[in-house]
Chains A and B, each alone.
Chain A
Amino acid sequence: MPVAKAYTRAELDGLVACPACDALHRRVDVPVGSRSRCLRCHTVLTAPRNSAMTQIVMLAATGVVLMVAAMVFPFLSIDARGFSQNSSVLDAVMAFSDGIMLPLSIATVALIVFLPLLRLGAVIYALAPMAIGYAPAKGAARAFRLAQALKPWAMAEIFIIGVAVALVKIAGLATLTIGPAFWAFAALALVMALKDTLMCRLTVWKTLEQRRLS
């Protein structure tokens, strides 16, 4: 093993380690729109996008609006032999909230409403000031780290598939009709996916660092 040498901050910042396999690479300026990959394991290192910061914030804000719409408008209505019932997203996951099933309802609300909202909020908090040219807000680094950590736990898109399966399962017993909130939710899943493809981790952190120092 080579003897460890002391690097200066500038030397360190000129290097980048692959997050998946730890291989060191020289940090090169990647043209906007293309991406650089690890030589050894092919993990994407950077993928800068043009004016991504503004677009990410706009998409995150759109996501928040869609989530509010999904909460307010009717989500599903059910009809069976004269009985009919309308429900919102919250009704759909919280109506059955007694006894041992309460944790299930709470977990569902967390995965499809609370954590996605928290994640969108954290992204907006961390990036919005920079998107309009200001220095990042206090705690922006922590907010963005939170947004990264929450990624696997925000499950809006999986919930959409769950609703589709539920529609088929109940088809023989009752008629389920989907309302506008369902479409708001589907759009939300799409917006979040688009936002994640635009968000290049290294670029965001680099910008956070530069703006904090200036």
Chain B
Amino acid sequence: MEDPGTTATILTAREAGLVACTGCGRLDHIGEPTCSLCGASLDSRDEQSLQKVWAWMIAGLIAYIPANLYPMLETETLGRVSDSTIIGGVIELIHHGSWGVAAIVFVASVVIPIGKFLAIMFLAYSIKHPDRTSSLTRQHLYEAVEFIGRWSMIDVFVVAILSSLVHLGSVVNVNPGIAAVSFALSVAFTMLSAQSFDSRQIWDADRRVAA
């Protein structure tokens, strides 16, 4: 722990019998149903948080499988049709020598989603099974997941742009593949999973161990 002296003297809103509004930050006594300032419903801790996290994450994982197996794009060049999956698209970019862009797509479509699945699983698991990773590290990991997760949408936008723009008669046509839809769903589901996570639980578990 960073600074045991400070941590020991810290009192949480819940321990003081209070609940903080997640919308506007106003404090009220536990038991108050809605916030008197912004009208949001008050919950000291979201008790169903972990269930929602797992449910959305499993949905995201399921959608991520077809997203990798089926084509994102179907390119028709002078009558020849070629499909490309997420990985196929990255390899194509490398063949064209566009290393930088290949790296962007690879990070956004492969590294971030998989990293995000692992990070959320670890965070959710660590609430019930605390380990030696400090609460602060886990808090930072959660913030990173929330911040970076949305950037996975890049490839979906690429598909949307190319497939609606590139319709040039018999020369070249680009059509979206079914993977684009399942990938977009996967990103949305994992965003919902991360949003369902109540980071205050990270710190509660820490105090139970310390006590």
> Interface of A with B (CB < 8 Å)?
1-7, 12-13, 15-17, 19-24, 39-43, 76, 78, 80-81, 83, 85, 87, 91-97, 100-101, 103-105, 107-108, 111-112, 141-142, 144-145, 148, 152-153, 155, 158-159, 161-166, 168-174, 176, 201-202, 205, 208-209
Contacts and interface: CB of A to CB of B under 8 A. Distances in A.
Size class of B's contact patch?
35 or more
A205 B93 contact: no
Given A24-B13, A174-B166, A93 B160 contact: yes
B151 interface: yes
Contacts, number: 231
Interface in B93-117: 93, 96, 98, 101, 104-105
A40 B9 CA distance: 10
B164 A16 contact: no
12 contacts: A17-B27, A20-B200, A21-B12, A21-B199, A40-B10, A78-B166, A141-B39, A148-B23, A152-B195, A153-B191, A155-B157, A165-B154
B79 interface: no
Contacts of B204: 22
A21 B176 CA distance: 43
Contacts of A1: 15
Contacts of A103: 181
A101 B182 CA distance: 11
B165 A95 contact: yes
Contact of B12 (A17, A42, A166): A17
Contact of B136 (A42, A96, A145, A172): A42
B59 to A, nearest CB: 16
Given A24-B10, A104-B160, A141-B37, 6 more contacts: A1-B15, A7-B18, A7-B27, A104-B180, A152-B150, A208-B24
B83 interface: no
A41 B28 contact: no
Contact of A4 (B29, B154, B157): B29
Contacts of A145: 23-24, 38-40
A161 B154 contact: yes
Given A39-B6, A83-B171, A108-B160, A173 B166 contact: yes
Nearest to A149: B23
B202 A21 contact: yes
B161 interface: yes
Contact of B168 (A43, A174, A201): A174
A173 B22 CA distance: 50
A101 B166 contact: no
Contacts of A91: 164-165
B181 A22 contact: no
Contact of B165 (A81, A85, A101, A201): A85
B17 interface: yes
Given A104-B180, A162-B158, A95 B164 contact: yes
Interface in B65-120: 75, 77, 89, 92-93, 96, 98, 101, 104-105
A168 B104 CA distance: 12
B164 A23 contact: no
B135 A15 contact: no
A169 B172 contact: no
A23 B10 CA distance: 6
Given A1-B15, A22-B200, A166 B39 contact: no
B25 A6 contact: no
A39 B10 contact: yes
Contact of A169 (B101, B151, B160): B101
Given A104-B176, A165-B101, A15 B27 contact: yes
Interface in B176-211: 176, 178, 180-181, 184, 191, 195, 199-200, 202-204
Nearest to B108: A161
